[in-house]
Amino acid sequence: MQTAELPQHFADQFGWEEMTATVARVYRGLSPQEQAQACIFTENYGEAGAIDFFGEKYGLPNATSGHNSYWLWGPAACTGEIVIGVGIQRQDWEGVFARVAPADVVHCQYCMPYENNRPVYLGRDLQIPLKANWIRGRHYD
């Protein structure tokens, strides 16, 4: 695993608010009607936890994720019509959404390298029923 400038136990404490601010820029770029439908989906529980912790300051809805216990909590009110995805690989969303577009990139100097330069995508018009897609997205790694 690639290391950061800081040891992992410190590097894991950096970058979360920057990620949340990046997601907030994407969210604010949506119309008010789209914001009312939008949900945030993250690759891992750390990203979801950061959105949940810092998100209120930025006016964001809570995050969902298929990782660890976040999967157990389900997609909440997410309909899948508009989803902001953090750390998701584009190819994982192609075919799941009718439209997938890059929206931004998360940058953080002192975070772990695998959290730096993470893509943020905007997925629109879910093509697979949310329940089936939710089951497929579960992971405990």
Give the tens place of pLDDT for each residue, 28-56. Answer: 999 999 999 999 999 999 999 999 999 99
Whole-model pTM? 0.91
**Residue 1 pLDDT > 80, yes or no?**
no
What's the rounded mean pLDDT across residues 66-94? 91
Identify the residue with better confidence: 90 or 4. Answer: 90
Asked if 20 and 55 count as a contact pair (C-beta separation under 8 A), the reply is yes
Reference 57, options 106, 18, 6, 10; nearest CA is 18
pLDDT at 130: 81
Question: Where in the chain are the domains?
Answer: 8-136
Give the tens place of pLDDT for each residue, 94-113. Answer: 989 999 999 999 999 888 88
CA distance 123 to 79: 12
pLDDT at 17: 94
CA distance 57 to 112: 24
